[in-house]
Amino acid sequence: MKKTTLVMLGVLFAVVLSVLLGLVAYTLFSVVNNSISQQNLENGFGGMMGSGVTGSGMMESGMMSDPIESEHDFLVHMIAHHEEAVYAAGILKENTEREEMKQFAEDIIKTQSAEIEQMKLWLETWYPNEDHSVDYQPMMRDLTNLQGDALDKAFLQDMMFHHMDAVMMSQQLITGGFGEHSEIIPFARNIRNTQRNEIFIMRNWLSEWFG
């Protein structure tokens, strides 16, 4: 088979995969969106601290991050995105009554904290002279006053949205040709695959525990 044919098949496969991921994300987004009340959407995400994170209030329904336009763009946005997830997982870990949720929170904190440190190192190494600040708009509501089922349900609903955004950002980097260093593509692919799998876990828990 000619090299040009292989290249064309590779591009076609990437496009089809991107479309399929988009359809999955849209379907899951629609299901979760229908289950969240307007009151919950208006609740603010308050008290989050972390470099590169500004603003308050849950992101409007259906609103995801701006499209990724570069490797640097991916790193600064994903760091802020991860910081929000780690913060929310910390609240869940301390207050949930379900052992599954405690373990899930621990996994998120461990995995995404390590990824944050890796991405910060890459920023310092690859882009020492660029501005790393980002106007990140939080996607999750304030969980600090929730307990029991209310906490678990809110966390699962919001974190599904949150994971969808990370999956889509990672896929944009992979298929958009923005990777300038060899390490970034497998890194983004791992985020995409891990969080995509966790979306299905959370969806199943929502169905099992809350109907």
The amino acid present at 40, given as its one-letter code, is N
Helix ranges restricted to H, 96-183:
99-126, 148-176
Neighbour-count burial for 36-45, b at 16+ CB within 10 Å, e otherwise = beeeeeebeb
Phi, psi (degrees; rounded to nearest 5) at 53: -110, 125
- The CATH number that domain 51-210 falls under is 1.20.1260.10
Look at 3-7, 41-45, 128-132, 179-183 and tell me which has the smallest mean pLDDT.
Answer: 41-45
pLDDT digits (tens, 9 = 90+) for 66-105: 889 999 999 999 999 999 999 999 999 999 999 999 999 9
Domain boundaries of the chain, sorted by first residue: 51-210
Q: Given phi > 0 = left and psi -120 to 50 = alpha, else beta, which region is 63?
A: beta
**What's the mean pLDDT in 103-129?**
98
Chain segment 135-166, per-residue pLDDT in tens:
898 999 999 999 999 999 999 999 999 999 99
Round the average pLDDT of the chain to a whole number and report it.
Answer: 80
Among the residue ranges 32-46, 90-104, 177-191, the one predicted with the least confidence is 32-46
3-class secondary structure, 136: strand
- Rounded to an integer, the average pLDDT of 108-113 is 98
From 188, 175, 153, 204, select the one nearest 82 (Cα to Cα). 188
Chain-centre distance for alpha carbon 14: 21
